[in-house]
Amino acid sequence: MNKCQCGTLEVYSASSQNKKIINHGNRILLPPSILLEICNVYCGTMTFKLQSVLEEKKSIYVGVLEFTADEGTCVVPDWIFDAMGFSNGLSIPINCNRINKFGSLIKVQPHKSAFIKLSDPKDILKTYLKNFTCLTQDETITINYQDVNYLIDIVKVEPINKHNAICIDEFYFDIDLMDPLDLTVHPKLLFESSEAQQEKIITCEQQPVFQGIGILIGGEPLNTDQSSHQKIDMPVKQYDPRKQKLFNGLRQVQPNVFYGPSVKLFNIKTRYNLVDHYRHKQMIL
């Protein structure tokens, strides 16, 4: 059985009933009569649907921690109590809905960049979600870490199903952490910042690079008007064809002559002068 009507109960916040321990998760307290009513017709992970009084179409799925609440009442975490617009003593319908899908991926978006600046935000989030039975798409959960509350939007859950919710009891899923909301730039602000940046670039281009006065090495001031029109004549090397004659189609190059000392070859006692050998070779050619 996937759905069971549990009747109408009066809702109270955890703080009003001195049950702040349930604030670190999304599990509520229900009376023992609910357990007796559904235990014979329901099996599996128990998840319950809560309807918002602020928006008719807004609803979330929660788990149950204990069946120890007073008869006719239910106790919910403070952050759920505020998000759903409840007030103490308000009568709300409680429906037991079974979510058959276990989550494989959740996409979350923190409200503040302070959360992603923590040492390991994904690991912190996974550890904290152990206190959750299920997650609903488009809901905003509250994470309390080191006495600081962080608001996090559940942007998307996978696999997609008719409940738009997943069960995370098995805790085998990946987390896709999006950029925080306070880092998202509004398109209008982005346009204004680009326009201001363009004006700054134009102003820098119009500003002269150097506005000072040049001084020569001798101490005399440099006349920039005259110096800007002065041209430095560099000597140009003229080509002389008489010095570049070709004999038999070959350019004459001064031979590299070795002027070093004689060396001993193959352990022969006589010394052979390489300079004489080179000159003898040139005469043969």
Note whether 169 and 92 are same-domain residues.
no
Q: For the chain, how many structural domains are there in total?
A: 2
**Same structural domain, 121 and 58:** no
Most confident range (mean pLDDT) of 41-50, 74-83, 96-105, 269-278 is 74-83
Give a yes or no: residue 133 inside a domain: yes
Cis bond upstream, residue 159 (ω within 30): yes
270 belongs to a structural domain: no
Q: Which two tokens stand for residue 17?
A: 């009933």
Taking alpha carbons only, the member of 103, 92, 88 closest to residue 59 is: 92
Q: Are residues 168 and 138 in the same domain?
A: yes
Tell me whether residue 280 is in a domain: no
CA 283 – CA 279 distance, rounded (Å)? 6
Same domain for 107 and 170, yes or no, is yes
**Same domain, residue pair 135 and 175:** yes
User: Is residue 132 in some structural domain?
Assistant: yes
Q: Which range of residues forms the domain containing residue 118?
A: 101-188
pLDDT of residue 228: 46
* Same-domain check for residues 76 and 156: no
The reply to whether 263 falls in a domain is no
Q: Is residue 240 part of a domain?
A: no
| 110: pLDDT strictly greater than 80 | yes
pTM of the predicted model as reported, rounded to 2 decimal places: 0.60
Return left, alpha or beta for 245; rule: phi > 0 is left, psi -120 to 50 is alpha, else beta.
beta
What are the tens digits of pLDDT across the range 189-240?
Answer: 444 445 555 666 566 656 666 666 777 776 677 665 544 445 455 566 666 6
Is the pLDDT at 21 greater than 70? The verdict is yes
Last residue of a domain, one of 54, 69, 98: 98
Give the CATH number, domain containing residue 92: 2.40.40.50
The confidence score (pLDDT) of residue 64 equals 92
Q: CA distances (Å), 284 to each of 207, 251, 257, 280, 281, in order?
A: 74, 20, 17, 6, 5
* Residue 21 domain-assigned (yes or no): yes
Domain assignment present for residue 208? The answer is: no
